[in-house]
Chain A
Amino acid sequence: MRLNLGPSHPATHGTLRVFVELDGEIIRNMKLEIGYLHRCFEKMSETHTWNQVIPYTDRLNYVSAMMNNVGYVMAVEKLLGIEVPKRTQRIRVIMCELSRIIDHLVAIGTNAVDVGALTCFWYFFRERENIYDLFEAVCGARLTTSFTRVGGLYKDLPEGWTQWCRKVLANLPRSLDDVEGLLTTNRIWIDRTRGVAPISKQDALDYGFTGPCLRACGVGYDVRKAHPYYDYDKFDWSLITEEEGDTYARYLVRLGEMRESMKIVEQALDDLPDGPVNVDDWSIALPPKDQVYGSIEGLMAHFKLIMHGIKPPAGEVYSYTEAANGELGFFVVSDGTGRPFRVRVRPPCFAIYQAFPQMCQGQTISDAIAALGSLNIVAGELDR
């Protein structure tokens, strides 16, 4: 029998079309069709200034928008050859790790829903709401954050935010423990996930896997460890790896990574220096508002920057960060004008999704649903 899964099916978490050839319940063959959520991100970037691209990056992996913001501005900053202040780096690390937690919460929560365990979803979404409240207090939006700017941030942290963040973090283990208690040793969950859609170490590497899905196969590769940025090497945290490469291993890796991310956030909060968040260069970051309102130099720099945009030197740069799903790379090309000549995104999902048919061969259709949830394919990032 031939069956269409999607494009709009609740289990696809987005718009993916999977065309499966079934023999009874067993999947014999599978064909993927992507592009339903294609929004021309890369082409759109070319008609906007460097800073105007940031709201578009929110919509790549919309589950963890902060990480796309950071990944993109890091690439532009590399092109400009500037380093942002320590405080900004720390704040970006905090935001990234909080986003990673959210992303993993959603990945595990929805994966559990797909196999019929709704409760975990509620326990996780309570924590997710709390973290979204934190985001909203910082940048004014919950989902589409647009928090970073080239050379700095949209705004500094508000008063009392760090204590609030600690409080939210202190509540998080409670939900993690609850869900761990509900799932990790639960025979039903184990039956539905163990040995489901496994991928071998070699295949995962060949397909270009990164992130939790790769670490679930026993490869200890993480951009934060292998090519540290923003002082990730100075924090005390460990890599979580599992050997089996199946859905259950991916679940365990994600669960463990949330606890590691919490550790990183706590250390970054402890070690948060004072100072400005923007670089002191008015051709890159906007002048402070009192300078704009009160001095002619500030006003001129402000006008110039908004009208003409940042002008990085001509050249090209590839910059990559560890997003929740794996290596998120931005390849940016500048021709010296105020707009990008080309922006290319390397979405982690794309490589992972390619392997989906192979992983599901010979498994049942219900296993494919469980596997799809555990790969955490985010269509916004896949199709761009």
Chain B
Amino acid sequence: MKRSKYRLPLSQRIYLIAILKGMGITARHFFTNLLRPGRMPNVGYPEKRRNYSPRFRGLQILTVKPNGEIRCTACMLCATACPADCIHITAAEHPNPEVEKFPKEFNIDMLRCVFCGMCEEACPVDAIRMGTRYELANFERNQFIYTKDDLMRAGNYTQSRVTRP
């Protein structure tokens, strides 16, 4: 097998020069990181967290009206727009005739959700939004089905949903 049909200049044929040059570059990084650790790109997760933009597409939030009732009218647009078929809504008649229709059940299967944001885009009454929560790990499959109550609470989450087995 013929390899070296290229003739390298002397400076490159000697390993040492290239090695020293490379060491220079890495040493520069080493010292800048040492002197200014704040500028290192690392994030010390989970003590520190990366700040995401307000547009971040995380766990969905079901918004509520000022009186605390769910805003969703069970129009099924989000379930239709969802490419992953993961929104399951059961509609029911609301006791208040002014409201007419509301979702009795509203489940999102987070194991199927791809966080594409199409449900948010499809909602005609701003009842579903993409929140910024992203740590959705859990221990059992059925814990990934987020119910209406979970999603309504998702707007002001503080406690983790994770329950140890």
Contacts and interface: CB of A to CB of B under 8 A. Distances in A.
Pairing of A with B: yes
A195 B5 contact: yes
Contacts of B83: 48, 52-53, 55-56
A164 to B, nearest CB: 11
A26 B1 CA distance: 10
Interface string A339-366: 0000000000000000000000011000
A258 to B, nearest CB: 18
B41 interface: yes
Contact of A190 (B12, B81, B124): B12
Contacts of A55: 83-84, 114, 116, 118
A306 interface: yes
B6 interface: yes
Interface string B124-148: 1110001000000000000000000
Interface stretch (B15-23, B61-69, B93-101, B103-111): B15-23
A317 B1 CA distance: 47
A119 B41 CA distance: 14
Interface in A235-265: none
A186 interface: yes
B118 A303 contact: no
A195 B121 contact: no
Contacts, number: 101
Given A154-B121, A187-B8, A306-B81, A140 B55 contact: yes
Contacts of B114: 55, 144
B22 A186 contact: yes
Contact of B3 (A129, A194, A306): A194
A264 to B, nearest CB: 24
A55 B125 CA distance: 23
B4 interface: yes
Most buried by A among B77, B83, B122: B83
A178 B152 CA distance: 49
A52 B81 contact: yes
A52 B121 CA distance: 12
B57 interface: yes
Contacts of B5: 195
A139 interface: yes
A12 to B, nearest CB: 24
A292 B120 CA distance: 13
Interface string A270-310: 00000000000000001001001100000100110011000
A170 interface: no
A307 B80 contact: yes
A306 B57 contact: no
A40 to B, nearest CB: 14
8 contacts: A137-B55, A140-B57, A144-B116, A158-B55, A185-B21, A194-B6, A292-B124, A362-B1
Q: Ordered nearest first, which 4 A-B pairs have the shortest CB separation?
A: A140-B57, A52-B83, A140-B55, A137-B53
Interface of B: 1-6, 8, 11-15, 18, 21-22, 25-26, 29, 41, 52-53, 55-57, 77, 80-81, 83-84, 114-118, 121-122, 124-126, 130
